[in-house]
Structure 1
C-alpha cells in the first residue's frame, strides 16, 4: 500500500512539472520579451520615426511611448492593430510575420499630421 502511494505521488509530481514547463502563457511571455523591438514615439500629432524598416517574415514588437500631452492611438487597418495610450504612458503591440511590403499606420486622434509606414523587407 505504501508503494502505491509513493508511485502515485511521484507520477503526480512529474505531471505537475511537465504541465508547468509546457505552459503556453509562459512561452508566450518569454517570446514577447525576446522579439526584435522597434521604438515609436507619439507626441500630439507627431510620429518619431514615421518610417520603420523591419525584417519580413519575422514577428516584431513595437514599443510605443506617448510623450505628448494628449491621448494617442496607434492604429493600422492593414495589420489589424490598435492601441490607445494616455499622455505620458508606454505600451507595445506585437505584429506577426509580415510579407515584404509597406503597411500604413497612424495616430487615429491626429490623422491629419500623424501618418507612418512600416516597411517589411
Structure 2
C-alpha cells in the first residue's frame, strides 16, 4: 500500500507547484501582442527593465504564426485562433528584437526601460 501514498504525494506536489507557477505568472506585468498573417500589433512593446514580464500572444490570422526572439531565447508556435503566453526574464535596458518565423517580414522590438 506504500505505492499509492507515494504516488498521491507526488501528484499533490506537482499540482501545487504548477498552481504556484501559474499564480505567479498572473501577477507579472502583462503585455498583449496580436499576430496575424505577417502583421504584428503592436510592433513595439515597452516593458520595465530589470523585471520579469509576460506577453500574451494571440493569433488572429488564417495560418500558423511563431513568436520568436533569438536575443530573449523564446519561441512559441500558435495555430490559427490560438492564444498563449511567454514569460520573459528580467532584462537590462535596451532593445530586443522579435519576429514571426513563419512570416519573416513581421518584425518587432521589445524596449526595456
If the length of structure 1 is used for normalisation, what is the TM-score? 0.79
Question: Secondary structure, in 3 states, of the residue corresponding to 1:99?
Answer: coil
Counterpart of 1:115 in structure 2 is: 107
> In 1, distance between residues paired with 2:84 and 2:33?
10
Deviations 1:33-92 (A, max 9, x none): 111100000000000000000000000000000000010000000000000000011000
- 1:24 Cα offset (Å): 4.0
> Stretches of 4+ moved more than 3 A in 1?
23-26
- What is the aligned-residue RMSD (CA, Å)? 1.5
> In 1, distance between residues paired with 2:93 and 2:34?
24
Counterpart of 1:48 in structure 2 is: 41
Counterpart of 1:10 in structure 2 is: none
> In 2, distance between residues paired with 1:29 and 1:69?
29
Counterpart of 1:97 in structure 2 is: 90
Question: Secondary structure, in 3 states, of the residue corresponding to 1:28?
Answer: helix
Show structure 2 runs of 5+ residues with no match. Answer: 1-8
Aligned length: 101
> In 1, distance between residues paired with 2:89 and 2:20?
16
Correspondence 1:26-41 to 2 at 5 A:
26-41=19-34
> In 2, distance between residues paired with 1:24 and 1:71?
31
Question: Which of 56, 68, 78 does residue 75 from structure 1 map onto?
Answer: 68
Q: Does 1:63 align with 2:60?
A: no
Question: Which of 99, 103, 109 does residue 106 from structure 1 map onto?
Answer: 99
Q: Please say which structure displays the higher CA radius of gyration.
A: 1
- More helix per residue: 1 or 2? 1
